[in-house]
């Protein structure tokens, strides 16, 4: 009995493999790319450690060009890294559906703003846009300044000491900021650094990435039976328990005290993102508790990990480029005139050189290194016909390091983004916050937070690092992260 079963399985695998070549148009076999293996496609190329993903993609693009076709299992993917290709996808209202890779986030983020599409995405985007009005963002400056001061106090204890990993400290500060601004809750992650929530976010990101690149884990039924599936369920339980508890606490506060909620110091609490969702829920008739949670989970995830990455790498760039660090400090000294007062809106507007540094750091270390979309209709990319329902993988990490757009692409040069000497580029040559209809709704919030945190550090400390950039392995998971952290030393400026 085993013999016919064995031959049946072999015939099925062979048929699936040959089907790729028979349906050449659907599988885009006219586009350059590696030859797929039976059943697994090219997935074995990505089966190594997470830090190998970017080098593998870079090697493929060097060999096959800026548009590369490869298969994960039997699913065809097109990876692109040119501004023209980015414009074709990101600018179109027909190409707004996130790629197949995002479905592995559904257990965590459900169908929130990041993962939804169609009418639901349009209605949520319209609902949430007012939460990022500049007047509301200005109210959050006090929170950002307060948390940045705590951050600098923690750094002060490490000044004149040995090198230390600054990445987790930045992450905890960013988490405190997003919790207090988005949910109106101070979780003191900076003072209680052993955060179960942060650990669950990191582990979940790693699990999602491994599942995205391993087609043998795509089946929900199979995944539940694996050790990774058990870890995933534990992480989701931690993440959802945290947000559910906060939502219920805030709903109770709003019911009892309306708009007069005050914090521990007696100050009136700012209108948090969560308040808006609860208000717009109309008692559950418009948004259920699950609807609220999926948006809170989305903003908690996207609102702290992305900014933490850019802030950390920006500080590292200053630590390895003392002349740029000094120029930025001179700008800040001129703005604040030696005072230790908190930053205000006018101060942020005057941080021109710091803004160029943040942009250049984000070019080199894109917080979201991979974006994917499922084509809603046939489209021509790089001269090739791409049929509808194709998974297109956009690679900002490679786009931003294109030597034809950015000479000496691996060099940290903030002058590329100088307002004094603007450089003409394709409008889709720089997309750190994506672009088009689905651009990042929180980019102004992120820029404000990054300016306040980085300026606070530079006003108080000089940074230095002996670690070379090539010695920092990058984990290109859902969010870009340094595998072994970012080690710097500090010395007080005064």
**Position with higher pLDDT, 239 vs 257:** 239
Q: How large is the greatest C-alpha to C-alpha distance in the chain, in angstroms?
A: 85
Averaged over 286-308, what is the pLDDT? Answer: 86
User: Which two three-digit tokens encode residue 285?
Assistant: 């008739």
CA pair distance 78, 31, nearest whole angstrom? 9
CA 27 vs. chain centroid, Å, equals: 29
CA pair distance 316, 486, nearest whole angstrom? 7
pLDDT in tens, 163-188: 999 999 999 999 899 988 888 878 78
Neighbouring residues of 34: CB distance < 8 A, sequence distance ≥ 6: 42, 45, 60, 64, 70
CA atoms within 13 A on the CB side of 340: 9
CA pair distance 465, 461, nearest whole angstrom? 13
DSSP 350-400: H-HHHHHHHHHHHHHS-SS--EEEE-SS-EEETTEEE-TT-EEEE-HHHHT
Beta bridge partners of residue 165, listed in sequence order: 487
**Percent of the chain at pLDDT above 70?**
92
Going from N- to C-terminal start, the domains of the chain cover 48-492
Confidence of residue 19 (pLDDT cuts 50, 70, 90): low
pLDDT in the model for residue 198: 79
Beta bridge partners of residue 381, listed in sequence order: 384
118, 131, 273, 341, 441 from 127: Cα distances, Å = 14, 8, 11, 35, 12
Annotated binding site for heme: 440
CA atoms 448, 451, 454, 460: torsion sign: negative
Q: For residue 423, is it left (φ>0), alpha (ψ between -120 and 50) or beta?
A: beta
39, 97, 354 from 19: Cα distances, Å = 11, 26, 54
Confidence of residue 265 (pLDDT cuts 50, 70, 90): very low
Yes or no: say if 61 and 398 are a contact pair by the CB < 8 Å rule.
Answer: yes
Long-range contacts of the stretch 116-123 (C-beta < 8 A, 24+): 121/96, 121/438
Give which of 275, 271, 270, 285 is closest to 255, Cα–Cα.
275
Beta bridge partners of residue 7, listed in sequence order: none
pTM: 0.89
Would the pLDDT of 450 be above 90? Answer: yes
DSSP 142-181: HHHHHHHHHHHHHHHTTTTS--EE-HHHHHHHHHHHHHHH
pLDDT in tens, 39-56: 788 999 988 888 898 999
Confidence of residue 242 (pLDDT cuts 50, 70, 90): confident
Lowest mean pLDDT among 17-31, 71-85, 452-466: 17-31
Q: Which of 253-267, 354-368, 476-490 has the highest mean pLDDT?
A: 354-368
| Strand bridging mode 480-482 / 384-386 | unpaired
Would the pLDDT of 267 be above 60? Answer: no
pLDDT in the model for residue 131: 76
Averaged over 122-149, what is the pLDDT? Answer: 86
Would the pLDDT of 284 be above 50? Answer: yes
CA pair distance 61, 403, nearest whole angstrom? 13
CA pair distance 66, 402, nearest whole angstrom? 10
DSSP structural state of residue 341:
P
pLDDT in tens, 205-230: 889 988 988 889 999 999 999 999 99
Annotated binding site: 440
CA pair distance 116, 257, nearest whole angstrom? 34
Would the pLDDT of 323 be above 90? Answer: yes
Would the pLDDT of 488 be above 50? Answer: yes
CA pair distance 215, 39, nearest whole angstrom? 9
Would the pLDDT of 27 be above 90? Answer: no
Domain 48-492 has CATH 1.10.630.10: yes
């Amino acid at each position: 009995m085993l013999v016919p079963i064995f031959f049946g399985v072999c015939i099925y695998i062979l048929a699936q493999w040959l089907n790729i070549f028979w349906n050449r148009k659907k599988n885009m076999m006219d586009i350059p790319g590696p030859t797929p293996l039976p059943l697994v496609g090219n997935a074995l190329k990505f089966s190594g450690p997470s830090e190998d993903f970017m080098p593998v993609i870079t090697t493929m693009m060097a060999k096959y060009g800026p548009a590369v076709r490869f298969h994960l299992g039997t699913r065809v993917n097109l990876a692109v890294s040119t501004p023209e290709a980015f414009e074709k996808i990101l600018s179109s209202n027909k190409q707004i559906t996130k790629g197949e890779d995002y479905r592995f986030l559904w257990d965590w983020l459900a169908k929130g703003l990041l993962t939804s599409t169609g009418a639901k995405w349009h209605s949520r985007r319209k609902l949430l846009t007012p939460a990022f009005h500049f007047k509301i963002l200005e109210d959050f400056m006090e929170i950002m300044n307060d948390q940045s001061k705590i951050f600098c106090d923690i750094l002060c204890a490490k000044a004149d000491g040995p090198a230390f990993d600054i990445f987790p400290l930045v992450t905890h500060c960013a988490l405190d900021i997003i919790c207090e601004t988005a949910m109106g809750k101070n979780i003191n992650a900076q003072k209680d650094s052993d955060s179960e929530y942060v650990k669950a976010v990191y582990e979940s990101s790693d699990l999602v990435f491994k599942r995205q690149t391993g087609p043998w884990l795509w089946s929900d039924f199979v995944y539940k039976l694996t050790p990774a599936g058990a870890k995933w369920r534990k992480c989701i339980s931690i993440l959802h328990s945290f947000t559910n508890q906060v939502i219920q606490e805030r709903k109770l506060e709003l019911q009892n005290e309306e708009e007069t909620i005050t914090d521990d110091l007696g100050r009136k609490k700012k209108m948090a993102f969560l308040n808006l969702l609860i208000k717009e829920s109309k008692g559950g008739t418009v948004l259920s508790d699950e609807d609220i949670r999926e948006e809170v989970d989305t903003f908690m995830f996207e609102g702290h990990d992305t900014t933490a990455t850019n802030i950390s790498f920006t500080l590292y760039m200053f630590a390895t480029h003392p002349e740029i660090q000094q120029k930025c400090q001179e700008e800040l000294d001129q703005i604040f005139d030696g005072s230790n007062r908190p930053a205000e809106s006018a101060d942020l507007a005057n941080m021109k050189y710091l803004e160029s540094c943040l942009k250049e750091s984000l070019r080199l270390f894109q917080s979201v290194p991979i974006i994917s979309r499922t084509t809603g209709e046939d489209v021509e990319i790089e001269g090739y016909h791409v049929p509808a329902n194709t998974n297109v993988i956009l690679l900002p990490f490679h786009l931003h390091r294109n030597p034809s757009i950015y000479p000496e692409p691996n060099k940290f040069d903030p002058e590329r983004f100088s307002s004094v000497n603007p450089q003409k580029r394709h409008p889709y040559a720089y997309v750190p916050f994506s672009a088009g209809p689905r651009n990042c709704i929180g980019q102004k919030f992120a820029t404000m937070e990054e300016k306040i945190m980085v300026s606070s550090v530079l006003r108080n400390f000089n940074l230095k690092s002996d670690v070379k950039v090539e010695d920092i392995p990058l984990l290109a998971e859902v969010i870009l992260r340094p595998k072994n952290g970012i080690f710097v030393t500090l010395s007080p400026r005064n």
